[in-house]
Structure 1
Amino acid sequence: MHQDLQLGYLVLEVSDLDAWSEFTTRTLGMSVDGAPSEDALRVRMDELQQRFLVRRGPADDDVAVGLTALNGQVLQQILDRVTAAGVPVRECDEQEARDRRVKRLYTFTAPGGITVELVSAPYHSREPLAAPLVPGGFLTGAQGLGHAVFMVDDLDEALRFWTGVLPFRVSDTSGQETPNGVSHAAFLHCNRRHHSIALVQRPARSTYPKKLLHFMVQANSLDAVGMAFDRAIDADLTINRSLGRHPNDRMFSFYATTPSGFDYEFGWGAVEVGEDWAEDHYDHISAWGHRPLPRPVR
């Protein structure tokens, strides 16, 4: 299984940077460089200087997804595929690359209006990570930040791009009845993580205004998930899916709502994709659990 690409980082634009400063440190248990007064937070969860760039702005959505290539050769191979497909690519200058804490940075737009940043040589921190709220830390390394799930208007078009132009492969697909109609999804891997990107067809009656449905971070211990669940309750967050397990990636996790209105998933124990992985289809997203948690009466 190739390990030459990963979901490196997310760039989020948020309207309440103070709330995100509190959320990333006290609820997610990550480390933040920068202050809300500086209009940006640089969030660490491992040895890299930045896994989330959280900027002040009105979108309350993801504004870029960073894909990190293992080296310059891999980066060039992917760039060649993108340009051969007729997709306009912009090489960013040194200042823009430094802002992302990477050496090289190129950007282009994927179907659905998703801004993709292809990068290499991310900056490592000289300081050890301080994340005492997450015992054992987060599972990152060659598997990257975790995963991000995006809503798209044309799933087939998006799939052709991510698997035909970008070097992703389908792990699983799903189809589920929702109040807004049938929701179809595809889960895509680019390394041993079951999915680094997932794409969801926007249901016909959906009123959800954002591109990003949720991002996922994976802890190295089960207890870290339970502790994060307690912190989400203590922070009075909306728990959209309580503790449960998925049938496809076997992730034990919960979902709660971020200060910007999209969700985050905090999990542990996912299976990894190998050379013998067999694609499957599911008509449900949870083997058990993952039910809405009523907000307590205070």
Structure 2
Amino acid sequence: MSVFGNVHLGYVVVETNRFDDWRRFGVDAIGMHHDQLGRDLMRFRLDDQACRFLIQRGPAEDVVATGWHLDDHSTFDEIAARVRAHNVPMTEGTAEEAHLRGVERLLRFPGPKGITQEIYTKAVTTAEPLRMLASGFVTGDSGLGHVAITSSKPAQLRGYFNTVFDARLTDYIDETISGVKLKIRFLRVNERHHSIAIAATQGLPIDPIRTRVQHLNIQASTLDDVAASYQRVHELGFGMALSVGQHTNDKELSYYARTPSGFEWEVGWNPVVVDESTWEPSTHQGISIWGHTPVGQTIVDKLEQFRRAALSLAATEDTVPALSGPGIPDD
């Protein structure tokens, strides 16, 4: 049984000690709805679902879990059976964990780079009106947006998401940044061009990014929302990683801000929707048709990336081998 099309990125869990900065970033800069649940917990909403981002206190300064909304119980049972069949430990989330994530029930299991993967079938919705600066965000059948990961073992990560979610390859991008050649693989699990992006250096198994994710993406309803949030990010003093630009493959117009935890946050508009009857994977040269120029990167920043890349040579990246197997080599 294929589960493709029945899987949607539903929520993201971030662990941080920078609560005040995250509240300002999410509410005042990006423009999301905010619910304070206590000193150590808050949530951001984009739509009628009670939780799209759970921000919890802790030292990671990173994404620690991603939640996947499954259309029905048969999909839920199929994915759970796959994980168990590979002898990967799976645990049921507590009632409190489910409540905080705005779901009725969830199962959790290990994911690549230490990002726990969580699955659920029913999200809690609320009639409480959204109080946010943005006019709206695009979710629905496309899911929340996407998550981008850097990896020294891209074939294994692609194998993982294929094994668990029947992820399909949408396309590739080849890019050279500061003399380093990158290949980015874009994977979809529904109509959204990609819910997972995996970036890797070519020729040398290094990972220059400190955080488990390189960036998260949400899709704004209007171009005006993108422009307004871009201006607010600048005015409030948050870092900007890449200026406004348009991608070569999904044609999304977007910018990349720096979150208080260090990973990047992409706000985009109007990406293409994949037509399964006609789509064929292809390779694009460069990430952008125009724009997306680096903002405020110093030589110190570049040296720090090279230092992290060198350290990663001695590190072991967790790919959950039982679920990634030998991996899927590039087509």
TM-score when scaled to structure 1? 0.92
Q: Which amino acid aligns with 1:169?
A: R
SS in 1 for 2:288: coil
The equivalent residue for 1:110 is 111
Whether 1:287 and 2:286 are equivalent positions in the alignment is no
What are structure 2's unaligned runs of at least 5 residues?
Answer: 298-331
The equivalent residue for 2:261 is 260
Alignment of structure 1 residues 135-284 onto 2, 5 Å: 135=135, 137-179=136-178, 181-201=180-200, 204=205, 206-275=207-276, 276-284=278-286
The Cα shift of 1:25 comes to: 0.6
Which whole-Å deviations, capped at 9, do the CAs of 1:108-144 have from their partners, x for residues lacking one?
112332210111201001212122x212x10011211
Q: Which amino acid aligns with 1:4?
A: N
RMSD: 1.9
Q: Which amino acid aligns with 2:215?
A: H
The Cα shift of 1:269 comes to: 0.9
The equivalent residue for 2:72 is 71
Query: 1:175–1:87: structure 2 CA closer, same or farther, 3 Å change rule?
Result: farther
The equivalent residue for 1:9 is 11
The Cα shift of 1:173 comes to: 1.6
Going by fraction, where is strand more abundant, 1 or 2?
Answer: 1
Q: Percent identity?
A: 35
Which whole-Å deviations, capped at 9, do the CAs of 1:154-180 have from their partners, x for residues lacking one?
111111110133221111122322337
**Contact 1:180/1:206, CA 8 A, preserved across alignment:** no
Q: Which amino acid aligns with 1:89?
A: M
C-alpha distance in 2 between matches for 1:38 and 1:287: 43
The Cα shift of 1:103 comes to: 1.2
Query: 1:98–1:180: structure 2 CA closer, same or farther, 3 Å change rule?
Result: farther
Count residues in correspondence. 292
The equivalent residue for 1:134 is 134
**Contact 2:150/2:207, CA 8 A, preserved across alignment:** no
**Contact 2:184/2:200, CA 8 A, preserved across alignment:** yes
C-alpha distance in 2 between matches for 1:253 and 1:193: 16
TM-score when scaled to structure 2? 0.83
The Cα shift of 1:214 comes to: 0.6
Alignment of structure 1 residues 3-42 onto 2, 5 Å: 3-34=5-36, 38-42=39-43
C-alpha distance in 2 between matches for 1:266 and 1:118: 25
C-alpha distance in 2 between matches for 1:17 and 1:72: 36
C-alpha distance in 2 between matches for 1:291 and 1:60: 25
Query: 1:247–1:258: structure 2 CA closer, same or farther, 3 Å change rule?
Result: same
The Cα shift of 1:22 comes to: 1.1
Query: 1:285–1:223: structure 2 CA closer, same or farther, 3 Å change rule?
Result: same
Which whole-Å deviations, capped at 9, do the CAs of 1:26-50 have from their partners, x for residues lacking one?
1111111116x52011111100000
What are structure 1's unaligned runs of at least 5 residues?
Answer: none
The Cα shift of 1:151 comes to: 2.0
SS in 2 for 1:50: coil
**Contact 1:112/1:158, CA 8 A, preserved across alignment:** no
Which whole-Å deviations, capped at 9, do the CAs of 1:180-204 have from their partners, x for residues lacking one?
7322221111111111111222664
Q: Which amino acid aligns with 2:75?
A: V
**Contact 1:3/1:143, CA 8 A, preserved across alignment:** no
**Contact 2:145/2:218, CA 8 A, preserved across alignment:** yes
**Contact 1:152/1:211, CA 8 A, preserved across alignment:** no
The equivalent residue for 2:320 is none
C-alpha distance in 1 between matches for 2:61 and 2:179: 22
The equivalent residue for 1:44 is 45
**Contact 1:112/1:154, CA 8 A, preserved across alignment:** no
Going by fraction, where is helix more abundant, 1 or 2?
Answer: 2
